[in-house]
Amino acid sequence: MIENTDSRGNFLTVENGKICLKSKDSKSAQVWKITAIEENWVDFQGVPPDGTEGKPIAADMGNYTLFYGDGAMEDFRLENATDDTFRVAFKHCGMGMYWQIITGRLVITNILTYAAKWKLTKCSQ
């Protein structure tokens, strides 16, 4: 699972095709498979409970949000924030963009100072 470390206990999940934060309930949060593409570049693939192939996290630059499905921007760069946390970034029109949380919503911004920090949490069996 992918946990937000700025507000501990919030996990990335999918609701109505949108990527959002699920608060305090890790059992209902989406499980993600992370695939390395090249050095520090990854994609996040959903792992549905029924074992079917999930969809990737993709960037919707028209709305500056993330969604669950195939899109043009599915490859993200992990930037080390501390020993066990990272920021998620990508390039759009030559600018560095970051996953950020504003008033409880997950959005995309080009301001590094507000970039959210994340950590990977193992799923309990």
DSSP string, the chain: -EEESTTTTEEEEEETTEEEEEES-GGGSPEEEEEEEETTEEEEEEE-TTS---PBEEEETTTTEEEES--S---EEEEE-SSS-EEEEEEETTEEEEEEEETTEEEEES-GGGB--EEE-PPP-
pLDDT of 124: 60
pTM: predicted TM-score of the whole model, two decimal places: 0.84
The answer to whether residue 125 scores a pLDDT higher than 80 is no
pLDDT of 88: 93
Q: In this predicted model, what pLDDT tens digit does every residue of 29-74 receive, in sequence order?
A: 788 888 898 888 999 999 877 777 889 999 999 999 999 988 778 8
